[in-house]
Structure 1
Amino acid sequence: MDNQNVKSGIHTAPPSHTAKEDKATVLQKEVGLLSAVSMIVGTMIGSGIFISPKAVLQGTGTVGLSLGVWAACGILATLGALCYAELGTMIAKSGGEYPYLMEAFGPVLGFLYCWTNIIVLRPSSFAIIALSCAEYVATPFYPGCSPPHLVIKSLAAAFIMLISLVNSLSVRLANYVQNFFTAAKLFIIFIIVVSGIIFLAQGNTQNLSKGIEGATTSFGNIGLAFYNGLWAYDGWNQLNFITEELKNPYRNLPLSILIGIPLVSVCYVMVNVAYFTVMTPAELLQSSAVAVTFADRVLYPMSWVVPLFVVFSTIGAANGVCFASGRLTYVAGREGHLIKFMSYISLKYYTPAPALIFNGFLAIIYIIPADINTLINYFSFAQWGIYGLTALALIVMRYTRRDLHRPVKVPVVVAGLVVCVSCYLVLAPIVEQPTLEYIYCTAFILSGLIIYLLFIHHTHTWSHRVMGPITTQLQLLMQVVPPEKMD
């Protein structure tokens, strides 16, 4: 790096002389169709399908309705993703919902989205996945008892640091990791589904034949069942966080969605069918890890294979979350809603290294509390509020931005349906079980307005005087530069 330029405060890339250095200092388009599908499938299939069936059954009360909720969640995820396909090909920017909310509703709502996602939702999700992975890794070493919390948290922190390092060093390496672990998790799902088909062929249909007898009709319980099912489907919007790195996004974005999400939906329904061929509803509700119980009954003495592949599955999901979260932080820095340093790119590896390291640091902080699952549960309503606002943004821009080219155009009724379902998912748990935690979460989100007014809307010269020297030293340390605009 040209130290003279950095020391003078001119944050520019140095002159290029080699073939590699002739690349513009921007995120490179290295994500093809296979990697895009792997990103969707690999992020969606995490630990959810191995844990959530119990919660979905609790909310529905019967096998038939439970399977219906899993299928409906797949349809809803597909409809939402189709709306995102139109938005992603219309506004080809990375950052997920952020650029769409900015374009439709302005910078204040865009900042509140960043504030909620970057500070809470994304790093805490990363932390939860890492903790799940650490628990599965540590359990075999502590037979007959639970692993110590310190061991689990230390392992989780190590996973977070390793995954953040891989993503900081190479986009291509991160894609290889994603492709490998996606193949691994599809393999174990294939094993579970085939086992279930064999049991069905042997006549084990007594649990499935009960249909929806005894189903719950509670407004809130059905909403909570959908929450848990949709948590397992979460990640369907993953490609919109990395649009700028997709090869041929106008083709590969919608095509990846149409391949990846239906594939996951079929897998989820078939896996649940397999569970119910082996376990009664009562047995499933008593199991702390449904997939492990299934393996103990069907695959013994090879039952250890399932926990191993659940570890692979969680690592793949964590890698996908890390990859996408870094792009959101990068875009927020580029737009001025975070410090500009977050938008800097590694001069050697062409990755948003500062953003990735920052997200990893926050995820490690979220490992420290005793229970962060409660935090995520109460912030889930905010996540579905974001999905609903994004679908509403599509409807709004049909009228306010008719000039924009739309390579993909979904019927407006689809966006309207997503908005309505999102409203239901936001309101149902609050109406059924109103608690102060929802008020706390809302207060936290709205507190972003104070941050926006103090540090974003009114830019103070003192902040430049303080951040300038710090940014210079961080640039020298990490060898990063501001992104260039493509010609």
Structure 2
Amino acid sequence: MKKDSRGKPRRIFNNFNAIAVIIGIVIGIGIFRLPSMVAQNAASELHYLSFWIAGGIISIIGALCYAELASAKPDAGGEYFFLTKAFGPGTGFLFSWGRMTVIQTGSITLAAFILGDYASVIYDLGTYSSSIYAGITVVGLTALNIIGTGPSKNIQTAMTSIIVVVLLLAGLAGVLTGFSAEPVQAASDSGVTTSAGAAMIFVLLTYGGWNEGVYLSAEIKDVRKNISRVLLLSLATITVLYVLINSAYLQLLGLETLRNSDTIGVSLSNKIIGSGGSFAMAVLIVISALSTANATIITGARTNYALGRDFPLLKFIGQWNHANNTPVNALLLQGFIAFGLVILGGFTEEAVSTMVDYTAPVFWFFIFLTTLSLFVFRRNPNYKLSFRVPLYPLTPLLFMTVCLYLLYSSVVFTGWGALVGILILLLGLPVYYFAQNR
């Protein structure tokens, strides 16, 4: 048999490495900003904490569905591979196009801009300080991944370990300190309009990114046995950390302060370690943003590689560098698009908000379709299962209902960025037909 000159992924990720990538994507900057928006829609402290517990449960339900898909059909293309096999190459191409131009590149840019905001607190580079830091982040992390998957995953593991340890210590310190601290201001219900639906939008956005684990399925050792463990252990860890850190927010700051603060992470660190908390928190959030951006770059390039592998028009990104075990051309294209979004974001007043709007509708649409593919595969008598989602079909149906609600919310309650993201996704249709004609 002739060897494929383009190369293929090697199985170099153990469970710990894969868990580090997933946690690195999920536990990013959201936990330091979005809890205030959740608190604005909570009637009480118990109500507030129940949202975070519910978010973990919903995410675990989704992970169970994805674990069955990834264990039955492991591939570097992840969701692209599932959608192509279930609904045909057109759907798979449109997903990869949307992921390459909207979902993944928008998420990388979002993390880079938040890094830029907090890095500017440490050292300001002038008017375009955030954009400069964001551009350096995209270029630097893309270069790191081109050097090789080995160095990238090792640095990812180190950054994720730092974040988990710091959050764990901060949560425990916050809860323990709260017992001896002065009572916090009681929450006032006057003028507060609570909405569980609105709260869950922000909660699930904070939990978002766990699905990226399936893009490592071609590189995880003994994937059919381990992918379910990787996804479930990742989300169990994340849920515990989120409930712990939010308990610390309540214990030290109180629900009323949470509702009215945009810098709750800084407020918490100031309560625990004093006036030096602002600098310490800025450093932690920079590390968190680096971790999120790097993990997103790792998984995003895998989809681009799978797209180029299957479509001759884009075959230049379907090459795998065997020596470095990395898709170099796919990384370069992804970095180029993300850098372009950084330039675009530099001319908007709310770059972070624009990137959230830009990615959300496309993201939830394809999460819904991927879960739907489970029903298509179950009808195939040759569909071999090493892991079965519990309580099928109720489990995937419940998760799909959540996806549809979030898709609706992300279109109705967001700004012009959402329309731009949808338009760029639809531009993939003529590109697909051109590729087919070629």
Does TM, scored on the shorter chain, surpass 0.5? yes
1:186 is matched with which residue?
Answer: 164
Gaps of 5+ in 1: 1-10, 14-23, 460-487
2:254 is matched with which residue?
Answer: 280
2:201 is matched with which residue?
Answer: 227
2:99 is matched with which residue?
Answer: 117
C-alpha distance in structure 2 between counterparts of 1:434 and 1:172, whole Å: 38
Of the candidates 110, 135, 143, which is equivalent to residue 128 of structure 1? Answer: 110
Q: In structure 2, do the counterparts of structure 1 residues 345 and 212 end up closer, same or farther at CA, with 3 Å as the change threshold?
A: farther
**Is contact 1:64–1:212 with CA below 8 Å preserved after alignment?**
no
**Is contact 2:106–2:359 with CA below 8 Å preserved after alignment?**
no
AA in 1 matched with 2:231: I
2:134 is matched with which residue?
Answer: 156
Gaps of 5+ in 2: none
AA in 1 matched with 2:362: A
Of the candidates 346, 349, 353, which is equivalent to residue 321 of structure 2? Answer: 346
2:280 is matched with which residue?
Answer: 305
Q: In structure 2, do the counterparts of structure 1 residues 435 and 202 end up closer, same or farther at CA, with 3 Å as the change threshold?
A: closer
Percent of aligned pairs with the same residue?
25
User: What displacement does 1:86 show?
Assistant: 0.3
1:426 is matched with which residue?
Answer: 407
**Is contact 1:204–1:277 with CA below 8 Å preserved after alignment?**
no
1:105 is matched with which residue?
Answer: 87
2:65 is matched with which residue?
Answer: 83
User: What displacement does 1:390 show?
Assistant: 1.0
Query: SS at the partner of 2:384?
Result: coil
1:414 is matched with which residue?
Answer: 395
C-alpha distance in structure 2 between counterparts of 1:254 and 1:77, whole Å: 13
Of residues 69-78 and 190-199 in structure 1, the stretch that sits farther from structure 2 once superposed is 190-199
**Is contact 1:329–1:355 with CA below 8 Å preserved after alignment?**
yes
TM alignment of 1:168-179, pairs within 5 A: 168-179=146-157
TM alignment of 1:36-55, pairs within 5 A: 36-55=18-37
Query: SS at the partner of 1:339?
Result: helix
2:219 is matched with which residue?
Answer: 245
1:257 paired with 2:231, answer yes
AA in 2 matched with 1:348: A
User: What displacement does 1:289 show?
Assistant: 1.9
**Is contact 2:358–2:419 with CA below 8 Å preserved after alignment?**
no
TM alignment of 1:266-277, pairs within 5 A: 266-277=240-251
Q: What is the RMSD computed on CA atoms of the aligned residues? A: 2.6
Deviations 1:361-418 (A, max 9, x none): 111111112244324325312211211111111012211x231211011122111111
TM alignment of 1:463-478, pairs within 5 A: none
Deviations 1:16-70 (A, max 9, x none): xxxxxxxx93221110111011111111111111111112222445433322221
Larger radius of gyration: 1
**Is contact 1:89–1:407 with CA below 8 Å preserved after alignment?**
yes
1:394 is matched with which residue?
Answer: 374
Alignment: residue pair count: 429
C-alpha distance in structure 2 between counterparts of 1:430 and 1:141, whole Å: 37
**Is contact 1:64–1:211 with CA below 8 Å preserved after alignment?**
no
Query: SS at the partner of 2:210?
Result: coil
User: What displacement does 1:311 show?
Assistant: 1.5
1:93 is matched with which residue?
Answer: 75
User: What displacement does 1:210 show?
Assistant: 6.8
Of the candidates 329, 336, 339, which is equivalent to residue 361 of structure 1? Answer: 336
Query: SS at the partner of 1:245?
Result: coil
Query: SS at the partner of 1:93?
Result: coil
Of the candidates 424, 428, 438, which is equivalent to residue 448 of structure 1? Answer: 428
User: What displacement does 1:212 show?
Assistant: 9.4
**Is contact 1:384–1:426 with CA below 8 Å preserved after alignment?**
yes
